[in-house]
């Protein structure tokens, strides 16, 4: 007998249904006491960073983003999803997290 889904192979913490987000929208989740911003891209994939901007604490989930960067709504510094690095010199990076959608659920990997 073949299982359609091998739950043992699904990794990460389930934070909610991807349908809770609209494409192009970010939302903040609390996972193990950490505030994490999750972004639903136009292609249906997700990215995740710390929710608080390392510059002065802006809410990154409220920022504009594309498939490469999120732009903080307070002072418009941009942070790369791939590395967390700020595109401007002298600004600390933001922490990024592995994020993916499995069976319609957003799953994050911390650590
Ligand atoms: S608080 Fe985010 S750019 Fe200043």
CATH number at residue 53: 2.102.10.10
Find out whether the beta carbon of 75 lies less than 6 Å from any atom of ligand 1: yes
How many percent of the chain have pLDDT more than 70? 91
**Distance separating alpha carbons of residues 82 and 24, to the nearest angstrom:** 18
pLDDT tens by residue, 17-45: 999 999 999 999 999 899 999 999 999 99
Q: How far apart are CA 30 and CA 79, in angstroms?
A: 20
Domain that holds residue 21: 2-109
What's the structural domain count of the chain? 1
Distance (Å) from CA 108 to ligand 1 centroid: 24
Q: Is 88 in the pocket of ligand 1 (CB under 6 A)?
A: no
Global pTM reads: 0.90
- Cβ–ligand 1 contact at 23 (below 6 Å): no
């Amino acid at each position: 007998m073949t299982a359609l889904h091998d739950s043992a192979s699904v990794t990460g913490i389930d934070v909610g249904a991807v349908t809770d987000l609209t494409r192009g929208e970010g939302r903040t989740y609390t996972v193990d006491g950490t505030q994490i911003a999750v972004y639903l891209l136009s292609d249906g994939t997700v990215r995740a960073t710390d929710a608080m901007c390392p510059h002065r604490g802006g809410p990154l989930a409220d920022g504009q983003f594309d498939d490469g960067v999120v732009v903080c709504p307070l002072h418009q510094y941009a942070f790369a999803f791939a590395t967390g690095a700020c595109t401007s010199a002298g600004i600390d990076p933001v922490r990024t997290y592995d994020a993916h959608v499995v069976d319609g659920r957003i799953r994050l990997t911390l650590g």
